[in-house]
Structure 1
Amino acid sequence: MACDRRTLLRASAVALALAAGPAFGQDAKSPIAVIGGGNIGGTIGGLWVKAGHPVMFASRHPEDLKPLVETLGPLAKAGTVEQALAFGEAVLIAVPYKAYPELGKTYAGLLKGKVVLDAGNATKARDGELAAEAESAGIGATSAKYLPGARLVRAFNAANYRLFAQNAHRSGAKMAVPIAGDDQQALAVAAALVRDAGFDPVVVGGLDAATKFQMGSPGFQRDATGPEARKAFGVAE
């Protein structure tokens, strides 16, 4: 499928933003908040710690995250969601999708204006009506509805955490991580963080394009290289 003009313009804008350097903070190793210390949050957050980023992992029970942060070393901390959102210049959300409405409502002020990488997937068994809404409206639009004010980028949702753990910084062509968002600077930040975690970011399009790699789509659970993913999604190199 040939890439359209809008996708080309988006890719060019992201490339220019990346060429200009880090889009957030003055330090390429800016602090990151990871909301959720489970499989995805622990895996991706751990990769950022290893890359030199200070990371604060958060949950309702931060004391439960003590084993994780002790394993990762002094750059890793545990805190409440409020503490983590105040700490991080960028945020990874890796919690069950059913928590999104309450999360967005409770922490709206702290999420506003933040670059938020949205790794959540909606499943019918766990998330009920939210899963149906995500299927109907698209996962990107649904996340944007419940996280208003956040500079949202869909990222790290298209593969099982084991694939991320096994393929980070692998030799040869890096594993692709598709991302989608409407904010060009937020996309540039997300792309840089995907690279820091050891992968090749592939900008698929705006939030509406996140349907191309949401759970159940052909773009989900693909262990592809960057060039292979760009060809499959029909986007520019």
Structure 2
Amino acid sequence: MRIGIIGAGWLGGTVGRLWVQAGHEVLFSSRHPEQLVSMTRPLGPRASVGTPLQAAEFGPVVLIAVPYGALPQLGSDLREALRGKIVLDACNPPPGSDDALAREAQANGVGPTSAKYLPGTRLVRAFSAVDATAVEASAGRRSGKLAVPIAGDDTQAVQVAAWLVLDAGCEPLVVGNLAAATRFQRGGPGFRANTTMTELRRRLGLPKAD
């Protein structure tokens, strides 16, 4: 699969590298793509670098891992390029923020708020509640994998997100629709749990898997 990453920092860079190792073609982007070359060169020909617009246009899936305050402008600038794409939203309002966007996300839920500012996308909250170090550690383990909560309104998009969580060496836990993503946003029981499937289900009050 061709995947664009907008915001190839700590989380985006880690997840993207694991996807390349799983066989996907990944375009890593930032406002200064030349700074990403040293990271992508060892990954081989399936890894490339570019601008956020190039990442949005690259393939059917885009992971966005940028500061939350950048989303409205990003959604405006890349509206046509992102239209119809499966967007994995890993962004979170910063702790203690009291700006208008953070208040809106707190009142309405981060998932629905992200969907508002990324209109026309098939948005899934994914990789938003886990640390990059936990993702990387999970990819190196055979058991006790990291559980990654995901949520979205588009069933097929959620399924694709679940496959990509598996390809990053973690276990996906579908929590529900975008509104249900409040359970693993900052302040929710699933945020930064960085734990196994059994424990994450317990924290979220979900039944044990069959």
Determine which of 53, 71, 96 is the counterpart of 1:82.
Answer: 53
Which sits farther off after the overlay, 67-76 or 36-45?
67-76
Q: Distance in 1 between matches of 2:198 and 2:82?
A: 33
CA contact (8 A) 2:149 2:175 kept: yes
Work out the CA distance in 2 between the residues paired with 1:137 and 1:120.
Answer: 15
Aligned length: 208
C-alpha distance in structure 1 between counterparts of 2:178 and 2:156, whole Å: 14
> Retained in 1: the 8 A contact 2:189–2:203?
no
Post-superposition offset of 1:103: 0.6
Q: Distance in 1 between matches of 2:71 and 2:130?
A: 20
Helix, strand or coil for the counterpart of 2:151?
Answer: strand
In the alignment, structure 1 residue 97 sits paired with structure 2 residue 68: yes
Kindly, what percent of the aligned residue pairs are identical?
A: 54
Indicate the SS of the match to 2:88.
Answer: strand
SS of the counterpart of 1:157? Answer: coil
Structure 1 pair 141–58 and aligned structure 2 pair: CA distance change class (3 A) = same
1:219 aligns with 2:156: no
- Return 5+ residue gaps in structure 2 as ranges: none
Q: Report if aligned partners of 1:169, 1:199 keep a CA contact under 8 Å in 2.
A: no
Aligned mates of 2:99, 2:35 — CA distance in 1: 27
Unmatched runs of 5 consecutive residues or more in structure 1: 1-29
Per the alignment, in what secondary structure is the counterpart of residue 227 of structure 1? helix
TM-score where L is the length of structure 1 = 0.83
Which amino acid in 1 is paired with 2:71?
Y
Q: With the length of structure 2 as denominator, give the TM-score of the two structures.
A: 0.93
Structure 1: how far apart are the matches of 2:175 and 2:132? 21
Q: Deviations over 1:38-77 (max 9, x none)?
A: 1011011111011111100111221111111113222110
Tell me the CA shift for residue 126 of structure 1.
6.2
Are 1:178 and 2:149 counterparts? yes
The residue identity in structure 2 corresponding to 1:229 is L
1:69 aligned counterpart, secondary structure: helix
How far apart in 1 are the matches of 2:80 and 2:139?
33
Deviations 1:84-115 (A, max 9, x none): 12112211001111110011011111111100
Letter aligned with residue 52 of structure 2: V
- C-alpha deviation, 1:217, in angstroms: 1.6
Give how far 1:81 is off.
1.4
- Whether 1:209 aligns to 2:180 is yes
Higher relative contact order (CA 8 A, sep 6+): 1
Structure-2 separation of matches of 1:165 and 1:88: 24
Cα RMSD (Å): 1.5
- 1:35 is aligned to 2:6: yes
**Which residue of structure 1 aligns with residue 164 of structure 2?**
193
> 1:126, 1:48 → 2: CA distance?
32
